[in-house]
């Protein structure tokens, strides 16, 4: 069976493992988008270290969980987003100003909404809702 959205499947695996209280989760297949998304999550302390395993197929990622993640998911379909509309999306998607991040794919790479505002870039978005 073909996976339609690899990132959505990976984030669902992380959510399910976090709800069950697991310490690690195995994500497959591996992609550059997943690795960059996990890097943003790790930078903000929602997950621990992760290891990429090359099995000469699609690859695997082993993620260490810290127990700090409440929910993360993909906004589907991806919407084009302008910087002036970012505040509106932030109010609609995030539970509070102090919690969570919206992760954007921009021409400058994958980054959270605060970094996109600092760099003045915004294109499409995903969501990490973490408390």
Mean pLDDT of all residues in 26-43: 95
Q: Which two tokens stand for residue 15?
A: 């959510």
For 73-86, what is the mean pLDDT? 84
User: Concatenated DSSP letters for 34-56?
Assistant: HHHHHHHHHHTTSEEEEEEE--S
pTM: 0.88
Indicate the average pLDDT of the chain. Answer: 88
Domains by residue range for the chain, with CATH: 6-65 (3.30.1370.30), 71-129 (3.30.1490.10)
d(CA 92, CA 81): 14
pLDDT at 131 over 50: no
Verify cis geometry, omega within 30 degrees of 0, for the bond prior to 29: yes
């Amino acid at each position: 069976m073909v996976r339609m959205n690899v990132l959505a499947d990976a984030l669902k695996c992380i959510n399910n493992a976090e709800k069950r209280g697991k310490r690690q989760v195995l994500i497959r297949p591996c992609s550059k988008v997943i690795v960059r998304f996990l890097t943003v999550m790790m930078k903000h302390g929602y997950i621990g270290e992760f290891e990429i395993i090359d099995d000469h197929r699609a690859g695997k990622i082993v993620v260490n969980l810290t127990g700090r993640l409440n929910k993360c998911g993909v906004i589907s379909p991806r919407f084009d987003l302008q910087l002036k509309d970012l505040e509106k999306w932030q109010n609609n998607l995030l539970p509070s100003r102090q919690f969570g991040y919206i992760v954007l794919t921009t021409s400058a790479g994958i980054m959270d909404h605060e970094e996109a505002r600092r760099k003045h870039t915004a294109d499409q978005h995903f969501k990490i809702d973490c408390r």
